Structure 1
């Protein structure tokens, strides 16, 4: 059966995350409903991973199977007319039937946006922090995150991902035009990891925790150490990389 890979951008402000659930609208649920309306039969999509309520994405990846050959451009155009304004499927291709959006992913990249002055146009996709921040200390913490670590200090218990070990390939802060951006790329992420890393680094920047405190949370991981969570609205999934070609032969 043909398999199709889709790339999705969405503003997560009014959704209860990506993954379907009994109560509340989700991004996955909205896309499945739109595909069923267009294709006239149920379609089950598989995402590369879930995002929490209020989190956004520019490059969410999913796949679905359909028993007929689809015209990519026609389906993308039809989705444009059916999906809500805050969800867009912006690319689609037929892929190898063995491709899996979640299990074939080699890394995911997120950014977190911190507004350092009022930014009305970015209000819904950034967290405003007007306090003085020790940016050098925060950058030192970001460097500490690089490499392979157990991130128990920055996550909640998760039955789906009991192991909190992740390999981080990119972790850095940059500031442009009143926005302090934290960007992180890793082979995998555990529940609430990015938001808790960012929230704790902001506390270091404010002087509420020390750099040594942060380093201890990395070097001596424990869920009892309770990393501080930043607001969901500042977090954006930028892209997902794959370890092998997804193209259909």
Structure 2
């Protein structure tokens, strides 16, 4: 059967994350419902990974099979009429039948937004921090995150991801007037990892934790060390990267 890769943007405010779950409204469920209405037949959408409740995405990637050849432009246009206003499928392409959105992904990139003054246009997509921050200390912590580490200090037990080792290829802060953004890219992420990294670095910036304490959490990982979590609303999945050719021959 033909297989299709889709790219999805969504505002996660109203949703209990990406992954389907009982008695909760999720992005995956809305996508499957929309596709099933316009095709029409039941569709099983497989995402590259899950996002937590309240987290947003500029490019979440997923794939699905269909029994017939589809016209991507027509499907994308039809989805505009059936998906809620805070979810959009903005790209669709046929891919090789062995493509897998999750297992073929080589890297994921996230952005966390921190606003330093009241900013209504960004409030739903950022955490507001009005305290003075020691940005030099936060930059130092961000550099310590780069490389291959066990991130047990910044996650929680998860049967789907029992191994907390991730290879971080980029970790940095960028400041533009009142907006402070943290950027991170890695081969994989474990549950709550980015939010706990950012939340703990904010505590360092406020002087509530020392840089040495943060470094200890990186170098001597333990789930008992309990990194502080930042608000979900500031986290945005920016990009999922693939190296494998995705087009059918």
For this structure pair, what is the TM-score category when the shorter chain's length is used for normalisation?
Answer: over 0.9
Deviations 1:165-218 (A, max 9, x none): 000000000011311000000000000000000000000000000000000000
- For 1:125-204, list aligned pairs within 5 A: 125-204=125-204
Deviations 1:124-174 (A, max 9, x none): 000000000000000000000000000000000001100100000000000
* Ranges of 4+ aligned residues in structure 1 off by more than 6 Å: none
Residue 14 of structure 2 aligns to a residue whose secondary structure is coil
- SS of residue paired to 1:120: coil
Determine helix, strand or coil for the equivalent of 1:37. Answer: helix
- Rounded Cα–Cα distance in structure 1 between residues aligned with 2:121 and 2:247: 38
Does structure 1 residue 96 correspond to structure 2 residue 96? yes
Residues 188-197 or 175-184, more deviating: 175-184
* Residue 47 of structure 1 pairs with residue 47 of structure 2: yes
- The CA distance in 2 between the partners of 1:73 and 1:109, in whole Å, is 27
TM-score, length of structure 1 as denominator length? 0.99
Corresponding residue for 2:29? 29
Matched, 1:118 2:118: yes
CA shift, 1:97, in A, is: 0.4
TM-score normalised over the length of structure 2:
0.99
SS of the equivalent of 2:121 reads: helix
Unaligned runs of 5+ in 2: none
- Structure 1, unpaired ranges of 5+: none
Cα distance in 1, alignment partners of residues 99 and 217 from structure 2:
37
Tell me the residue number matched to 1:210.
210
Shift in Å, 1:243: 2.4
* Separation of aligned partners in 1, 2:114 and 2:248: 40
Q: The residue matched to 1:121 in structure 2 has which SS?
A: coil
Shift of 1:17: 0.4
Output one character per residue of 1:216-248: Cα deviation in whole Å (capped at 9) or x when no partner: 000000000000000000000000001211111
Query: Matched residue pairs, number?
Result: 249
| Aligned equivalents of 2:28, 2:114: Cα separation in 1 | 27
- 2:234 aligns with 234
- What is the root-mean-square deviation of aligned Cα atoms in Å? 0.5
